[in-house]
Amino acid sequence: AQSVTQLDSQVPVFEEAPVELRCNYSSSVSVYLFWYVQYPNQGLQLLLKYLSGSTLVKGINGFEAEFNKSQTSFHLRKPSVHISDTAEYFCAVRVGVSGGYNKLIFGAGTRLAVHP
Amino acid sequence: DGGITQSPKYLFRKEGQNVTLSCEQNLNHDAMYWYRQDPGQGLRLIYYSQIVNDFQKGDIAEGYSVSREKKESFPLTVTSAQKNPTAFYLCASSPRSPNSPLHFGNGTRLTVT
């Protein structure tokens, strides 16, 4: 069965410091990978996605992620965070199956807290 | 602008009452989903629908029911059989292709006392 593990439940960081939010997945087939951000009492907003091609994916708000097939990882990074990046971040995997339903599996989330 | 509208944003009910959460989308997406979010547990799939008049159970369907009579609408009923209904409920939609991301509404926070 496919699963997604976000290795840190909380990540505190100072403003303007770099940050990495870690995500590992388990799947024996091709996957599509996503990172979402959730601000308090709101829905999820797509940050970036990996479908194929270049393993380094750039998203909104200065975030990027690198797909590593051998390590089954899809870590999210930002070189310099802002207070406004304080939110919860979810990694998700969608298994590519031709036809039929493709389930989106979410990790438990990582709460990023940016301090001044 | 296209999007997903969930209403109401906050909902309070007494134990033993059924309650229906609304979800409407104008993105012309075929597929719609309901997720439940609890602190520290991520999102868990309750029901999904790939096409009008068809829907399937997700991982935690017990105590919930849905209908999909129109492409734009996918209401979720939380029944009195749901043992722990207090949670944040998120509706989402997507095109049917597997590489399409989900678009989410802003959620409904249900509190049952």
Residue-wise pLDDT for B19-33, tens only, equals: 999 999 999 999 999
CB proximity A37 to B under 8 Å: no
More confident residue, A73 or B98: A73
ω into residue B8 within 30 of 0, thus cis? yes
Looking at the partner chain, which of B40, B102, B106 has a beta carbon nearest the beta carbon of A104? B102
Strand partners, A6: A23
A85-94, A101-110, B101-110, range with the lowest pLDDT? A101-110
Q: Which residues of chain B have pLDDT under 70?
A: 1
Q: Quick check: A60 contacting B, CB < 8 Å? A: no
Q: Name beta bridge partners: A96.
A: none
Euclidean distance between CA atoms B98 and B94, whole angstroms? 9
pLDDT of A98 reads 46
Of the candidates A42, A98, A101, the beta carbon closest to that of B107 is on A42
pLDDT higher than 50, residue A97 = no
Of the two residues A2 and B94, the one the predictor is more confident about is B94
Mean per-residue pLDDT of chain A: 90
pLDDT at res. A83? 96
**pLDDT given for residue A100 in this prediction:** 53
What kind and span of H or E run contains B10?
A: strand B10-13
Q: What is the CA radius of gyration of chain A?
A: 14
Scanning A9-113, the segments in alpha helix (DSSP H) are none
